Structure 1
Amino acid sequence: MLENLLIENFAIIEKVALQFDSGMSVLTGETGAGKSIIIDALMMLTGGRGSSDMIRHGSKKAVLQAVFSIPQNKSLINQLNEQGIEISDGELIIYRELKHNGRSLIRINGVVVSLKMLSSIGRQLVDIQGQNDTQQLLNSDEHLPLLDAYGGNELLVTKQAYQEIFNDFRSITQRIRRVQTSQQEITQRLDLLQFQQQELADADLQANEEEDLLDARGKLLNYKKIADRLQRAQLTLSGEDGGAVDRLAESMQALQEIAEYDDNYADLASTIADSYYAAQEVSRDVDEQISDLTYDEAELVRIDERLQLIHSLERKYGTTVADVLIFKQKVDKELSMKDNDELDVEQLQVRQNNLRQVLRKQAIKLREVRQKVARELEQAINQQLNELLMVGAEFEVHFDQIEGFVSSGTDNVEFYVQTNVGEGMAPLVKIASGGETARLMLAIKTAFTKQQHIISIVFDEADTGVSGRVAQAIAKKMLTIAADSQVFAITHLPQVAAAATHHFLIAKVAENERTVTQVTPLDEIGRERAIAMMLSGENITKTALANARDLRREAKSNR
């Protein structure tokens, strides 16, 4: 549930810090006092879009913060864990700043998140019922999603099975259309891929081939220079007139003859010995290099031709041999994925017809499960309508079959209602008055509450257009919802205010030549006066105060 709400420099609110409990809380006050601002702040904290206009005049930024206690909602906890958001002591702290540059900072338990992620999480925390929700109820396009949301696991599994088949059917249908309209283009593409595959296969490029060829070419082109330098090195090391190896041998022998007289002489002899043996090894290696050195003009031609082929392929398919090899892999993969039947429309159509039959059967199964859920929903809502004193009212879910297949099935669903006996069923949008719509929305919300596992529900003047016994019935129904979810209600009805377990008074006052909104939690005496004001206006009469006490007494006795 929502435990704490902090609002700073938001609209006309300078600073408000509120604490909430479970059950049902009402927010009352005169029109324009700022009741809706509280709800707007809660909307911003659960993913609503903000703007710099919401920042209090003269302030640098608006700060909003909410603390929720989180129940064992597996879906919500998994979503939080995926974002690296840890829950400490079962609390979720949402913090949001609105700035003049239009940007907002959002943190959940200290982790910075996007507005999209906040909205996704917020939908599982708070459900705000207001004018927009009434419009959703009166929009027949929303009726099928509402029905599906009410269905249990059986409907979900059946719908997912249908959608898997539908996706396969749609995919093959698109392939047929693509083949039929682009036969020549596909053939040309296949020809190109096959040519590229053959050309690259014939080339048989190796990963380090270009570097090895360039090294070999460099040796052949510089054969004379290399041979001359190797021979000069060999003469210097081991010439007939005595080379470096012989000179090192003489030096080594001379120092070895005096090594016994001084350790320094011994070290010098050892160092010269190392150099002598190293020079001998180098001399042998140079001899081998001279013996191996050959000049093959045909090999140079072959290398040049091979490099020319490699450079040609690099111009076509990539800047390096590695790039060309990657391109070859892509060509091979694309060709391997090309089914032979892609060019055979008849075979594709056979597969499409087979899928159509399977899809039709699954659509019928989905409709049967939906109709079962619809009967359950009708029973639940009709019971709620009866408890909301809509005697003779009846709610039905009407099904029409559409032509073809769409991702949601083959059902067109619309809510119908009869508000008075004998008037007949008609689409909800055509016959519901304001008060009736409010009660219908409340009946539906009561039916949906347990399935949706929403932590907190806000009714923003959802009781508009009713009074008397109906108002008492609405109050009782909100209390019923509050048994499963925390409820907040902005109301002008004294019956609803009297029934709530907690009452907050919203007032607009002037401080230091500025208008600010104050929110005050009321004790029992304060509640009686606030309810009396709702009954009689600003001048509270004794009769209104007595009526307020009666309403409170009755509300307590009915709990």
Structure 2
Amino acid sequence: MLSMLTVQNFAIIDNISIDFKPGLTILTGETGAGKSLIIDAIGLLLGDRASSTMVRSGYQKAIIEGVFSEYSDKISELLQSFGIDELPDRELSIRKEIALTGKTTTRINGILVTVNELNAIAEGLADIHTQDDTKKLFQSVHYLDFIETEESRQILRAYQKQLAVYQETLRKYQSLKKRATEDANQLEFMRYQANELAKANLSETEETDLEQELYILNNYENIFKNLASIKTLLEDHNITGSLFEISAVLKKLSKIDNRFQEHVGRIDDTYYEIEDFESFITSEISHLSFDEERLNQINERLSFLKDLKRRYRKTVPELIVFQTELTKRINEFDQMDDLLVDAENDVKAAYGKLAEVATSLTQKRKENANQLEQAIKETLKDLYLVHVQMKIGFKDVVFDDMFNSAVFHSYGTDNLEILISFNVGEPMRDITKVASGGEMSRIMLALKTHLLKNMNLATMIFDEIDQGVSGSVASAIAKKLKTISEDTQVLAITHLPIVASCADHHILISKKTVDGRTVTVLEELTMDRRIQEIAQMLSPDVQDDSVLALAKDMINFWH
């Protein structure tokens, strides 16, 4: 249950702190005093999206902190899995800071958590009913939320996995079929290209090698002239002969002074290096020749490669890769019929499994819907809708085309409608066309009462669940809230004195001006103040003894 709430710098709330207790807590106050802000603040702790516009003007951030107690073992397991230590006395603290810059941070028991982690934990703490929730009865997209249970969610998860398999097999089949059509139109041209590239006998390094060879041939005269010059220099200066004589002299000197011995080897090494170099130059000159035929061949080949690259708009290495791809596509096309049959069989198998799981999901949801119908009708009897007839209808889905993926959605194949009749002898019609505001409120309360049994929540919060009702119906709603609060903490905003009178705890929310600014003020009412507040709700003349007596009697009726 929610045991404490602190709110700072949030809209017109300056700084408030509330200690909540078990049972039924009623919040009353004039419109605009800040009642819904309290609900909004709790909603933010439970994962609602925050906005920087919520920060009170003149401040850098808003801070909201709540302490929950008596939470379930499932939440304990989640805390452990998220690496969050539990607090003493089995309390759980959620703190949210909303910065004026738009940045929002959330901590659970002092540990920073992600949005998904917060949502996972908050889901088991409390449920908030707002006036917008009642509007969901007018929006069929939300109907599945009303009938989903843990069992149906397990089937839904299996369905979603199989849906992904089906979508992937269908994508592969459609892609293969599209390529088959494209390749059939281009097959002759692809064969021509593959044949041309095969005849070209391409090599990744050929172009570079040819350009190097061409460069050498084009510089034949320059190369020959320089080689001959080197040979002349070597011969004219008799370098090897001089080195030989130097070596002989050093050998004589080394016999006198061994310091010269190390230089003998160096001169000898140089002699042999020069001798080898002379042989290399002589060999290069003897083998050097100008082959005009080879020059023409190279120019023709390079011209061919240039034209090929221009026409295909690819480099030689890219042409080699393209040739491989063409060959593969041609081979695949030759086997395309077999590939399409295999792909179609994959779609058929995946479709069959998906349709089977979808049918199981629908069947389970129909069972859930039937239970919900009966539970709501029983609860509505207590809320003065004795003759109500209700049916959650499922629109038929036919699985007759394995290539039609449009019938499959992430939530399943079910499209629901809620049909209802409030009067004897009247046919059931779409709820959005026949229900009044008061009837909608009662249906939503009945719905929440049923869902609460499955959700195992410690706290339920209602924002004007009694909107649009009065008299005996309002009394019935008060009784239902009182009944729920016997096992579950209930917080409720109301404008009805009969509902306010049944509270175990009554908080008055008002606003006043402090230092030229409007602030929200909370007051937990004593019995005398409760009588005055309910009298005020009954009549503007709160000093009328009969009104005060009536207010007191209304409170005593419930206690």
For normalisation by structure 2, the TM-score amounts to 0.70
Q: What is the number of residues matched between the two proteins?
A: 527
Residue 420 (structure 2) aligns with? 417
Q: Confirm whether residue 517 of structure 1 aligns to residue 520 of structure 2.
A: yes
Question: Given the superposition, is the C-alpha separation of residues 161 and 235 from structure 1 closer, same or farther in structure 2, using an over 3 Å criterion?
Answer: same
Contact 1:449 1:481 in 2 (8 A): no
Equivalent pair of 1:169/1:356 in contact (CA under 8 Å): no
- Distance in 1 (CA, whole Å) between partners of 2:274 and 2:554 is 115
Amino acid at match of 2:529: R
CA distance in 1, matches of 2:454, 2:249: 103
Alpha-carbon shift at residue 260 of structure 1 (Å): 7.7
- Give 1:515 deviation, angstroms: 1.0
1:98-117 map, 5 Å = 98-99=100-101, 104-108=102-106
| 8 Å Cα contact 1:475-1:496 kept in structure 2 | no
For the 8 Å contact 2:146–2:451, the answer to whether it is kept is no
Q: How does 1:154-165 map to 2 (within 5 A)?
A: 155-156=155-156, 159-160=159-160, 163=163
Q: Determine helix, strand or coil for the equivalent of 1:152.
A: helix
Partner of 1:242: 238
- Structure 1 stretch displaced more, 466-475 or 37-46: 37-46
Find out whether 1:468 has 2:475 as its counterpart: yes
Q: What is the CA–CA distance in structure 2 between the aligned matches of 1:25 and 1:262, rounded to whole Å?
A: 116
Q: Deviations over 1:248-287 (max 9, x none)?
A: 5555665565568889766666666665565566556656
Asked if 1:398 corresponds to 2:393, the answer is yes
What SS is found at the alignment partner of 2:510? strand
CA distance in structure 2 between the aligned counterparts of 1:388 and 1:153, rounded to whole angstroms = 31
User: Are the equivalent residues in 2 in contact too, given 1:24–1:478 (CA < 8 A)?
Assistant: yes
Please show how residues 37-116 of structure 1 align to structure 2 within 5 Å. 37-41=37-41, 46-48=47-49, 50=51, 52=53, 54-59=54-59, 61-65=60-64, 87=84, 89=86, 94-99=96-101, 104-108=102-106
Separation in structure 2 between the aligned mates of residue 247 and residue 306 of structure 1, nearest angstrom: 50
Q: Percent identity?
A: 29
Tell me, yes or no, if the aligned pair for 2:500 and 2:534 is still in contact at 8 Å.
no
TM-superposed CA distance for 1:38, in Å, is 3.5
CA distance in 2, matches of 1:112, 1:294: 80
- Find the aligned partners of 2:307 and 2:507 in 1 and give their Cα distance: 80
Aligned counterpart, 1:550: 556
Aligned residue for 2:139?
A: 139
5 Å-filtered alignment, 1:419-498, equals 419=422, 423=426, 425-449=428-452, 458-466=461-469, 467-477=474-484, 480=487, 482=489, 488-493=491-496
Structure 2 gaps, min length 5: 87-91, 400-405
Cross-structure match for 2:215: 218
TM-score by length of 1: 0.70
User: Alpha-carbon deviation of 1:30?
Assistant: 2.3
8 A contact 1:472–1:495 mirrored in 2: no
Assess, with a 3 A threshold, how the Cα gap between structure 1 residues 274 and 173 changes in structure 2: closer, same or farther: closer
Residues of 1 paired with 2:72 and 2:503: CA distance?
Answer: 23
For the 8 Å contact 1:418–1:424, the answer to whether it is kept is yes
Cross-structure match for 1:340: 336
Alpha-carbon spacing, 1:469–1:23, altered in 2? closer, same or farther (3 Å): closer
- Whether the aligned pair in 1 keeps the contact of 2:9 and 2:15 (CA below 8 Å) is yes
Distance 1:139 1:151, change over 3 A: farther
Question: Distance in 2 between the 1:229 and 1:406 partners?
Answer: 83
Structure 1 residue 491: Cα displacement: 3.2
Separation of aligned partners in 1, 2:502 and 2:267:
108
SS at match of 2:156: helix
What's 1:407 paired with? 408
**2:445 is aligned with what amino acid?**
L
> Is this contact kept in 1: 2:180–2:336, CA < 8 A?
no
Q: Determine if contact 1:227/1:290 at 8 Å carries over to the other structure.
A: yes
Counterpart residue type for residue 219 of structure 1: I
Task: Note the aligned Cα RMSD (angstroms).
Answer: 5.3
Q: Is the 8 A contact 2:11 2:56 kept in 1?
A: yes
Q: Is the CA contact (8 Å cut-off) linking 2:2 and 2:459 kept in structure 1?
A: yes
Deviation digits for residues 287-335 of structure 1, max 9, x if unmatched? 6666775655444444444444544454455664455556566666766
Whether the aligned pair in 2 keeps the contact of 1:12 and 1:515 (CA below 8 Å) is yes
Instruction: Give secondary structure in 1 for the equivalent of 2:103.
Output: strand
- Quote how far apart the aligned CAs of 1:121 are: 6.7
Tell me how far 1:512 sits from its aligned partner. 1.0
Partner of 1:239, secondary structure, is: helix
The Cα of 1:513 is off from its aligned counterpart by 0.6
Higher Cα Rg, which structure: 2
AA of the residue aligned to 2:99: E
Instruction: Kindly state the Cα deviation for residue 516 of structure 1 after the two structures are TM-superposed.
Output: 1.8
When residues 192 and 232 of structure 1 are mapped into structure 2, their CA distance, relative to the original with a 3 A threshold, is: same
Question: Structure 2 CA distance, aligned partners of 1:455 and 1:287?
Answer: 102
In structure 2, how many angstroms separate the alpha carbons of the residues matched to 1:251 and 1:23? 117
CA contact (8 A) 1:48 1:119 kept: no
Q: Secondary structure at the match of 1:211?
A: helix
Q: State the partner residue of 1:375.
A: 370
Could you tell me how far apart the structure 1 residues matched to 2:527 and 2:248 are? 117
1:271–1:445: structure 2 CA closer, same or farther, 3 Å change rule?
farther
SS of the residue aligned with 1:220? helix
How far apart, CA to CA, are the structure 2 residues paired with 1:183 and 1:458?
60
Q: Aligned partner of 1:529: which letter?
A: R
Amino acid at match of 2:536: S
Alignment check: 8 A CA contact 1:491 1:497 kept: yes
The alignment partner of 1:489 has SS state of: strand
Q: Which amino acid aligns with 2:430?
A: P
Conserved 8 A contact 2:146-2:447: no
Q: Is the 8 A contact 2:9 2:56 kept in 1?
A: yes
